Amino acid sequence: MELTTEQLEDGVEKIALAGRMDSAGTQEIDLRFTGLTATRPALIVVDMSRVSFLASIGIRTLVSNAKALGRRGGRMVLAGPQPLVEEVLKLAGIDSFIPVYADVGSACAGLKTAAAERSE
């Protein structure tokens, strides 16, 4: 798998994942992903649009990183999953505790709204 990062406006960071998120693929990005979520209270959009396959081992990585980030006062949302990946996310009920947006733009808007609500 590939993992690339990009700093977006308003302090939101995009992590774009690409490839098959099975055990082999997840292993390739796990350390870097964890490094990005375990150290600071970031607002992170994970761009899933180029993830073609999501297995339970990939869900494990998404959930544990979202938890780590949440514990540090940050927040993680998912954006643009392909139909099969979205089906897997919904089936496992992940979308009830990690918000899933149609694209990066709406994910950023959602993140900022949530951050503003929290700081009020």
Partner 1 sequence: MSEDAPNGQEPSELVVTNDLSELTRVSAWVHAWSQQHGMTDRTVERLDLCSTEAVTNIIMHGYADSAAHEIALRLDCRHDSLALEIQDDGGAFDPRQVNDPQPAATLEDAQVGGWGVQMIRRFSDGWHYGRSGDRNHLTIVFRLSHPCHGGQPRHHVVE
Contact residues: partner 1, CB under 8 A: 20, 22-24, 27, 53, 55-57, 59-60, 63-64, 66-67, 70, 84, 88, 91-94, 96-98
Q: Smaller CB distance to partner 1: residue 64 or 106?
A: 64
Both tokens assigned to 115: 């951050």
Shortest Cβ 3–partner 1 spacing (Å): 18
Chain Cα centroid distance, residue 72: 15
Q: Smaller CB distance to partner 1: residue 93 or 119?
A: 93
Q: Please tell me whether residue 51 adopts helix, strand or coil conformation.
A: strand
C-alpha triplet 68, 98, 82: angle, nearest 5°: 120
Shortest Cβ 31–partner 1 spacing (Å): 15
- 2 φ, ψ to 5°? -115, 145
Shortest Cβ 13–partner 1 spacing (Å): 18
For the chain, how are helix, strand and coil distributed in percent, rounded to 5?
50, 30, 20
Q: Smaller CB distance to partner 1: residue 91 or 102?
A: 91
Q: Smaller CB distance to partner 1: residue 2 or 6?
A: 2
